[in-house]
Amino acid sequence: MTELAGGKWDAIVVGAGHNGLVCAALLAQAGKSVLVLEAEQQVGGAAVTRELTEGFSVSPCAHLLYQLQPEVCKELKVSPTLACEDLATIALSRQGNHVRIAGNAVTGVTGADAEQFRRFRKRSLRFARLLRGVLNRAPPRLGTSDWRDVLSLARMGFDIRRLGRDEMREFLRIIGMNIHDEVTERFANPLLRGAICLDAVLGTHLGPRSPNTMFTYLYRLAGDGGRNAVPRGGMGMVSAVLAQAARSAGAEIMTATPVRQIVVENGRVTGVETEAGELFSSYTVISNADPKRTVMRLVGARHFETGFIKRVHHLRSHGNAAKLHLALDGLPHVDGLAFKDFGERLLIAGDEHYVERAFNPAKYFEFSTAPVIEVTFPSIHDESLAPPGKHVMSAVVQYAPFALKDGWTEASRQRFLDIAMTTIAEYLPGLEQQVIASELLTPADIETQFHINGGHWHHGELALDQFLFVRPVSGAAQYALPLDGLFLCGAGAHPGGGVSGAPGRNAARTILKRERVR
C-alpha cells in the first residue's frame, strides 16, 4: 500500500450520481485529472432511466426535474432536452372537482382562494429566491474570524434585511412554521390545502404539522421557481449529458466499478480500493455517496473522532417515499380530466388532515393505509418511453418507512402495492385494468439499488437543524470532512437533494479554492 504515495489522479470521485458528475466535470475543466468510479453499469445514481418491461422505460428514482441550477448548465455548457418545461399540478378529487394549479393561478376554487393563492405564491417565490441565493454557495463557518465566513454571513443577513421591514418580519415568522398552520390560515379549499402540504412533505419524514415544513416547501420552490419539468428520455438523459460534459473536459468515468473502501494512510486519504481489489491513488477523494455510507462504510469510523461519528450516526436519514411504476395498455376516462391532463402532475392528498393521517403510521414504522401520491405519466410528453398508444406511470407513494417494523418482505411490499393501487383507482378509476406490468420500490429497495442509506432522497432529512452550517453535521458543512483529502459532493452536503447539481458544483468550487489558498 505504501506505493500509493505520490497520487496519480488529482481527484477521485466515488459515485457517478448527477452531483458526482457535475463535480468531476468542473474539476476537469479546471485542468485536474479526475477519475469517477461508479458501482452500477450506467452513470446517474438516482437520476437514471431504465426499462420497466419490454418497450417501456421509466425514471425509477428521481422523476421530475425542478431544481437543476442554471449555473451548472452554464458552466458545463449543457442543456438537457425537456419533453415538457413546466407541468401544471392537479389535485385530484374523487367527485371530479379537480383543483388545477399552474404557476400563480389556481382554478377550481373560489375567487377568494385564487387571490389568496396568488399572493401566497408570490410571497413564497420571493422567499424561495432568498433561499436560492444560498443554494449555490458553500455555507459560511460559524465562529471563525475568516473574512470570507464573516462576509458570507453578513450577506445572508443583508439579503434578509433587503426584503424590507414587513417582508423580513414575515420571513422570520414563517421560516420555522409548519405548513399545516400556514394553509389553514389561508385557504378554504381542502384540495388546495392538501396539495400544498404534499409539496412540503414529499421525500421527507415529516407530516404537515411537523416543524419547519414551511421551509421544506420553500426549498422545493427555491431551485427553479417551482417549475416541474420532464426531461426527454427520462432522468438518465440528464445524467448522460452531464457525463458527456465530464468526459469532454477530460474526466475518466469507469462504470461497474464498485468501491470497497477509501484508503487512509497516516491520517490522510490516499486513494480508493475497488471491490475487485484494484487500487487508485489520489490525495483528494470526493464522495458522492451519502454521509453515513461515506464515513461509516467507505472510510470507517475508526478514522474519525468519536464526537463526529456520533453526529453522523444521529443524522436523520430515514426514507419514506416509495416509487410505483406501471406499464399501461392505455389510459382510462376519468371525470374532469382531459387526455392531456394526464400529462400534468396529479396529486392525491385530500386535505392537510389526509396528509397528516398518512404520516402518522410512519412515526411507528408502519406504512400508510391511505397514502399520499404524486402521479405522473411522462409518456404523454415523451413517446420514446412507451410503445405507440401505450403509457408509463411513475408515482411517488408516501409513507413507506425505510425501517418497517417487521422489515420489508415480499408480502409487505405486495400489501403496500395493493394499497397504492387501490388508492389510485379511487381517483383514477379504470387505470388498474390497463396495467401490463408494475413495480414498487420501497425505500429499502432504493437503498439496495441506488446505494443510498435509508433510501432518503436528500441523503439526510431536510430540516433546519440539518441545513446550511450544520449540513450534514456541524464540522463538515463546507464539503470537507474532518479527514485530510476527503470531501462530500452529494445530496447529504449543502444544500440537499433534488437533481440540482448544487452540492456537486459547490464542492468542486470549494476544492479548487482551497488549492489556491494553499
Partner 1 sequence: MEKIVVRDGKAQGVALENGEELSGRLIVSAMDVKRTFLQCLDRNDVPDSFYRRVQNFKIRGSSGKLNIALDGLPTFPALPEGSSLMHSDMHFIDSMERMERAYDDWKAGTWSQDPYVDMVIPTLNDPTMAPPGKHFMSVFVQYCPHEIDGRRWTTEEKDAFGTTVLDQIANYSPDFRDLILHVEVRTPQDIEDEIGITEGNIFHGELTMDQLLFNRPVPGYAQYRTPIEALYMCGSSTHPGGGVMAAPGANAAREILADLKRPNTVPENFGDD
- What is d(CA 148, CA 151) in angstroms, rounded to the nearest whole number? 5
Other C-beta atoms closer than 10 Å to the C-beta of 499 total 32
Three-class DSSP labels, 253-312: EECCCCEEEEEEECCEEEEEEECCCCEEEECCEEECCCHHHHHHHHHHHHHCCHHHHHHH
CB of 35 vs partner 1, minimal distance in Å? 45
> Binding partner 1 by CB under 8 A: which of 2, 54, 111, 166?
166
Please report which residue ranges of 96-146 form alpha helices under DSSP H.
111-135
Applying CB under 8 A, the span of 46-54, 161-169, 221-229, 269-277 interacting with partner 1 comes to: 161-169
> Binding partner 1 by CB under 8 A: which of 52, 64, 87, 174?
174
CB of 360 vs partner 1, minimal distance in Å? 5
- What is d(CA 471, CA 17) in angstroms, rounded to the nearest whole number? 19
- What is d(CA 139, CA 494) in angstroms, rounded to the nearest whole number? 7
CB nearer to partner 1: give 173 or 513.
Answer: 173
Applying CB under 8 A, the span of 10-18, 70-78, 170-178, 427-435 interacting with partner 1 comes to: 170-178
With binding defined as CB under 8 A, does residue 465 bind partner 1?
no
C-alpha cell at 243: 457525463
CB nearer to partner 1: give 126 or 357.
Answer: 357
With binding defined as CB under 8 A, does residue 176 bind partner 1?
yes
CB nearer to partner 1: give 147 or 364.
Answer: 364
CB of 155 vs partner 1, minimal distance in Å? 22
CB 299 within 8 A of CB 486: yes
Spacing of C-alpha 123 from chain mean position: 24
With binding defined as CB under 8 A, does residue 316 bind partner 1?
no
Nearest 5°: the CA angle 27, 30, 33 is: 60
368-390 as b/e: b if 16+ CB within 10 A: beebbbbbbbbbbbbeebbeeeb
Contacts with partner 1, 343-382, as mask; x by CB under 8 A: ----------x--xx--x--xx------------------
With binding defined as CB under 8 A, does residue 173 bind partner 1?
yes
Asked whether the CA dihedral 238, 239, 243, 246 is positive or negative, the reply is positive
Where in 237-296 is the site for partner 1 (CB under 8 A)?
none
CB of 470 vs partner 1, minimal distance in Å? 16
> Binding partner 1 by CB under 8 A: which of 71, 159, 181, 252?
181
- What is d(CA 316, CA 205) in angstroms, rounded to the nearest whole number? 9
CB nearer to partner 1: give 212 or 442.
Answer: 212
With binding defined as CB under 8 A, does residue 185 bind partner 1?
yes
Positions in the binding site for partner 1 (CB under 8 A): 165-166, 169-170, 172-177, 181, 185, 209, 211, 353, 356-357, 360, 363-364
